[in-house]
Amino acid sequence: MQKNLFISHKASRAIPLSNNLTRDFLIQATLDGDVRRIEYQNSVIIDERIVAADGIIVERFDGRFAVDLVDARPAHDPTAEALTQLAFARKCHGIIELRADDVRAEPRCSAAREVWSHRSVRMHADDRAEILEALEDGGPAGLAQLAASVVTRGEARTLIYALACEGAVELDLRCGLSDDMIVRSGYAGFSAGLSAYGI
């Protein structure tokens, strides 16, 4: 079975997807300002054997962590032995264990999906500059306040969501897409350099 690929500005390579839970996690990690980098490793060596791992590692402000999506563990590794070995080999600070309910918690999950649906929006360079300069000059702002303060060719909220998908701005999605959701300048400088955004 051919896997879909997820591409993020925070990852140096496309990440194979075998389920929607992993996709939701990767969308949220891409949009999370605390996550600086996402890494993927498809295998690990255990007792001189190459074992499939499908391992995801996130680098956050507080360290590097392997991610154990418990409800999406590969059938060949029900105890996550390969992930444990991967975490050790990649010098992770620990393993983050997440269940489907954690990843799909609302309103964050729906908000992240909605923002990600704007990843392919094209924008004029002047619109990009208008929004980023407003944040640079005025600092973090509520979504409605920022949208009202800029003059753009495209719909401002749509453009803000598109900028979040590429890391140019950060959104606090914990409370959903409300008018007072905080928007701040992003850290696109941490980008791994990919310029297309995945499914």
The predicted-structure confidence for 32-43, as pLDDT tens digits, reads as follows 999 999 999 988
Same domain, 87 and 11: yes
The predicted-structure confidence for 119-173, as pLDDT tens digits, reads as follows 999 999 999 999 999 999 999 999 999 999 999 999 999 999 999 999 999 999 9
More reliable by pLDDT, 44 or 75: 44
pLDDT of residue 104: 97
pLDDT of residue 50: 80
Same domain, 99 and 148: no
pLDDT of residue 190: 43
Residues contacting 185, CB < 8 A, separation 6+: 132, 135, 136, 140, 168, 169, 170
Same domain, 89 and 33: yes
pLDDT of residue 9: 94
Q: What CATH number is associated with residue 45?
A: 3.40.1350.10
Same domain, 9 and 90: yes
Same domain, 81 and 156: no
Domain boundary among 103, 136, 162: 103
Whole-number mean pLDDT of the chain? 89
> Quick check: is 199 in a domain?
no
Same domain, 22 and 81: yes
User: Would you say the C-alpha torsion 190, 32, 57, 24 has a positive or negative sign?
Assistant: negative
Same domain, 132 and 82: no
* Structural domain of 136: 121-188
Tell me the pTM: 0.88
Number of domains in the chain: 2
